[in-house]
Chain A
Amino acid sequence: MSNLTVTNVNGQVDLEGRTKAWCNFNGTGSISTRDSFNISSLVDITTGEYSVNFTDSFSAADYSVSGAAGSRTTASGFTLEAPSRQAPTTGDIRVSCITHTGTITDSDTVSLAIFGDLV
């Protein structure tokens, strides 16, 4: 039996135009998610490369992604590449953190917001 109560929800939630998935995570050290919505897991692929898995699936892989990567201690000139070297799917997207010199590097703050239609 579920412990989750839904008494504060009356009918359908209007989600049109809202962010359908987002996350903010630390991609350095022991990688961890700070906060998120509609994310089931992160995958640490290799240095500076991560995959973000969605809990609810998008209806198509042509959703829109906004994102940023940065450092809380230095001016890194990070660019977040999304998707990165792999086509996005309805269930996940691969991203990379790249410095201004073109080096793929771990970032301590990676933020993603994804807009699109869910199934």
Chain B
Amino acid sequence: MTLIEKLVVAKKQLKPFQTDYRVVFEDDMDSPAKVMIPDPNFMAAAMAGGVLPPVEVFHQLKIDDEGRVLNGHVLHVEPVGPMTEEEAIEYLIQKDIPAHVWSGTQDNRIKFMVVRKEQLPQSRQFRNAWRLADAQIAA
């Protein structure tokens, strides 16, 4: 089965899972912080297992100058097993957030944070000014 066929089956058989986790990240210093909201059907598929490929394959996709994928077959490999809710969030971070946000080892500031949705500002009045607070540096 291809990935989309597995997603069709998952959509029919699995109950969507609404996670309270959100991932706040900054991929551009000149833009407000972004918030990633996991999809409930994706979370259900990740936690059931047997649907999603290893996250590494998404980074192996080769795209030509005209925006076409040259090696899409890599997505249809043996799927990974069930994940915990937290492991599914880690998977999504690596899949949907730019790698320079989560893979950097030379930065001295936090670029992303996993939070509960209750920790986000309740009002969106100043949405365009949202920033990740600087981390406290321990002595």
Binding site for B on A (CB under 8 A): 1-6, 8-9, 12-13, 15, 20, 23, 28-33, 35-47, 53, 55-62, 87, 89-92, 106, 118-119
Contacts and interface: CB of A to CB of B under 8 A. Distances in A.
Contacts of B4: 13, 15, 20, 38, 56, 118
Nearest to B128: A46
A5 B48 CA distance: 10
- Chain A interface, DSSP helix/strand/loop, else mixed: loop
Given A39-B39, A43-B96, 14 more contacts: A2-B82, A3-B50, A4-B6, A33-B41, A38-B7, A41-B39, A42-B37, A46-B32, A46-B127, A55-B7, A57-B69, A59-B69, A60-B67, A90-B63
Interface residues of B, number: 54
A60 B66 CA distance: 8
B37 A44 contact: yes
B48 A4 contact: yes
Nearest to B92: A41
A118 B79 CA distance: 18
Contact of A31 (B14, B35, B48, B96): B35
Interface of B: 1-14, 16, 18, 31-32, 34-42, 45, 48-52, 58, 61, 63, 66-69, 72-73, 75, 79, 81-82, 92, 95-96, 117, 120, 124, 127-128
B8 A36 contact: no
